[in-house]
Chain A
Amino acid sequence: SGELYCSLPNPRNVRFESINMRNVLHWSAPEGTGDGVLYKVKYTVYGVGKWIRKPECRNINRTWCDLSNETSDYEEQYYASVKAFLNGTCSDWMETTRFNPLTDTKIDPPMVSVSSTDKSISIILTAPEKWKRSPEEESISLLQVYPGIRYNLSVLNKKTKKRWFFSISNNSLVVPWLEPGTAYCVSAQIHVTTPLLDSGFSKEHCITTLKDK
């Protein structure tokens, strides 16, 4: 293209932010440039010869660009790059570090659903799904991406304030022999040993066991 000499300061902190393999490129505006800066984005599959422009992120004024579609094959690794334009001048292309969707994504906590009887609570956990292009597309659970997933579960007795931890590999657990008419709060975390990936703990789901019959 016609850019001869690029004297504009560079975009800063160009990086991928990824959650459940929704991979979004983010950056900060060049230092000292007010409004009016526009950006272009390109990406490349590591080891393959060409950079590919992202048309939907051409001449944009926002400082992010969703590249989930282009980086959805998690058996590959990627670089992305951003260039800034203002008043006929431009910056250099500024690159990310090498992005590995498998190890560089963050995982959401599992969904927790809890039901109770008078003396037990039943907990069902659902691992988050990998990002997908459209609702119609087939869902892929992160269980399929990370075979070694385990769940860490915390169960808090609100009356005694005692907290117990469970470590389970399947996605359901029944905790019997509880106190009737007592509130229990459950939260869960996903744990992958290699690559080492932990979700945060989910928010607490509280339920009260039924009163004694």
Chain B
Amino acid sequence: GACRVSMSMTEIRAGFTAIKANIQSRDPIRTLSILSHPHSLHKVKSSDRCCITHLLFTFYVDKVFKHCRTEDSFVNRKISSIANSFLSVRRKLGQCREQNNCVCGEESTEKFKQILANYEGLNVTSAAMKSLGELDILLDWMEKSR
């Protein structure tokens, strides 16, 4: 069956928009993307969408947010808001996987490996900040494929 997760994209999107310019200005590397190259999320098959979403939410929760602490209190509060929203959504996606509605195909596993390779290709703080700055790539893809 399909994996329908109600989530407040509006709040996550608003939180990111509020800090997008600040976060992206901390990422000087133009020539590398964590999420969109060489594989674009937009090429993911619909059957793999739930799995990739769950893998990516786990990626952000486990690896990204904790390394994005800044000297700016406003930015930190928005990151906390996004991180806690991701945690809440990741839990629901996990329930889908338990009910076997969120199967991981070979392609999505391969694509996620590439994302991890991109991430590990940088030092952890740069990789985390770049990943956070690319949140709109994830949100755009999720909204488009809703």
User: Using a CB–CB distance below 8 Å, which chain A residues touch chain B?
Assistant: 44, 46-50, 75-77, 79, 97-98, 100, 102-103, 147-148, 193-196
User: Using a CB–CB distance below 8 Å, which chain B residues touch chain A?
Assistant: 9-10, 13-14, 17, 21, 24-25, 30-33, 36-37, 40, 42, 133, 136-137, 139-140, 143-144, 146
Q: Are A47 and B33 in contact (CB under 8 A)?
A: yes
Q: Are B24 and A44 in contact (CB under 8 A)?
A: no
Shortest Cβ distance from residue B34 to the other chain A in the assembled complex, whole angstroms = 8
A-B contact pairs, 25 of them (CB 8 A): A46-B36, A47-B30, A47-B31, A47-B32, A47-B36, A47-B37, A75-B36, A75-B40, A75-B42, A75-B140, A77-B36, A77-B137, A97-B21, A97-B25, A100-B136, A100-B140, A102-B140, A147-B146, A148-B143, A148-B146, A194-B10, A194-B139, A195-B17, A195-B139, A195-B140
- Chain B CB count within 10 A is highest, among A50, A75, A100, A148, for A75
In the complex the two chains form, what is the Cα distance from A75 to B25 in whole Å?
A: 21
Shortest Cβ distance from residue A70 to the other chain B in the assembled complex, whole angstroms = 15
Q: Are B140 and A103 in contact (CB under 8 A)?
A: yes
Chain A residues contacting B37 (CB-CB under 8 Å) are: 47-48
Chain B residues contacting A75 (CB-CB under 8 Å) are: 36, 40, 42, 140
In the complex the two chains form, what is the Cα distance from A193 to B9 in whole Å?
A: 9
Q: Which listed residue, B24, B31, B40, B143, touches A194 by the CB 8 Å rule?
A: B143
Chain B residues contacting A46 (CB-CB under 8 Å) are: 30, 33, 36
Q: Are A76 and B36 in contact (CB under 8 A)?
A: yes
Q: Are A196 and B14 in contact (CB under 8 A)?
A: yes
Count of inter-chain pairs, beta carbons less than 8 A: 54
Beyond A75-B42, A97-B21, A97-B24, is A195–B143 a contact (Cβ under 8 Å)?
A: yes
Beyond A97-B24, A100-B140, A195-B140, is A48–B31 a contact (Cβ under 8 Å)?
A: yes
Q: Are A98 and B133 in contact (CB under 8 A)?
A: yes
Shortest Cβ distance from residue A79 to the other chain B in the assembled complex, whole angstroms = 6
In the complex the two chains form, what is the Cα distance from A148 to B140 in whole Å?
A: 12
Chain B residues contacting A148 (CB-CB under 8 Å) are: 143, 146
- Chain A CB count within 10 A is highest, among B32, B42, B140, for B140
In the complex the two chains form, what is the Cα distance from A194 to B139 in whole Å?
A: 9
In the complex the two chains form, what is the Cα distance from A49 to B37 in whole Å?
A: 10
Question: For residue A192, which residue of chain B has the nearest CB?
Answer: B143
Chain A residues contacting B143 (CB-CB under 8 Å) are: 148, 194-195
Chain A residues contacting B31 (CB-CB under 8 Å) are: 44, 47-50
Q: Are B36 and A194 in contact (CB under 8 A)?
A: no
Q: Are A44 and B30 in contact (CB under 8 A)?
A: yes
In the complex the two chains form, what is the Cα distance from A193 to B143 in whole Å?
A: 10
In the complex the two chains form, what is the Cα distance from A14 to B133 in whole Å?
A: 20
Q: Are B10 and A193 in contact (CB under 8 A)?
A: yes
Shortest Cβ distance from residue A195 to the other chain B in the assembled complex, whole angstroms = 6
Shortest Cβ distance from residue B18 to the other chain A in the assembled complex, whole angstroms = 12
Q: Are A196 and B36 in contact (CB under 8 A)?
A: no
